[in-house]
Amino acid sequence: MNFKKYLKIYSILCLTILFFECKKSNSNYQQEHALSNYEEDGYPDGTYCAEIDYYYSETGTSSTYTLLVEIENNELTEIHWPNGGWLDNSHFTPPDISSGEASFTSDRGVDYTIKIIGNDGDCSTTTYVTNEDDLIQQKEDNEDKEDEYQKKQSVEEEEQKAEEEQKRRQQEEEQAQEENQE
């Protein structure tokens, strides 16, 4: 009796998984098919879901996010951060994104690669993003820490030299006293 019960539960579980996988696959097909129409003629002006890769060479920081972007005349004009901020074309030259992909470097030296992955309503965006201000602050903090470390090293070296000089003088004085006693 238990075997039949487990078999029934197992069958229901398998059918449920199969149903959701088929539904997900159909949704992906519809999204890809809808996006392929845009790729032929470019993208109409509007907001799209995009995968954003960035790399900041000053700190070696890189990451990938899913965010909303604005497109106008087949050019990427704005990236929306989840905190309400944005990076707009006052900080970069708008690249052509009619193929669905674009790359650019911002005025602060951050490299971005953008890939359109869906429409505005189909987007589950990343909730936390390290934006450019955070990257620049991280670089400045690292530089400040390095400066503090260098200053500390310099002070320690000076103290060590002073100690060595004091020991040398003390040895010379002791040597001179020994010579005077002889």
Give me the residue spans of the domains in the chain. Answer: 46-133
pLDDT > 70: percent of the chain: 78
150/144 Cα distance (integer angstroms): 10
Q: What integer pLDDT is reported at residue 171 of this predicted model?
A: 87
19/156 Cα distance (integer angstroms): 69
Per residue in 75-118, pLDDT tens? 999 999 888 888 999 999 999 999 999 999 999 899 999 999 99
User: Residue ranges of the alpha helices (H) in the chain?
Assistant: 2-41, 132-181
Decide if 42 contacts 98 (C-beta within 8 A).
yes
Label residue 148 by pLDDT band (50, 70, 90). confident
73/139: higher pLDDT? 73
CB under 8 Å, gap of 24 or more: what pairs does 96-105 form? 97/43, 97/71, 98/39, 98/42, 98/43, 98/74, 99/39, 100/35, 100/38, 100/39, 100/43, 102/76, 104/76
Per residue in 55-80, pLDDT tens? 988 888 888 989 999 999 999 999 99
Phi, psi of 119 (to 5 degrees): -85, 165
Q: What integer pLDDT is reported at residue 28 of this predicted model?
A: 53
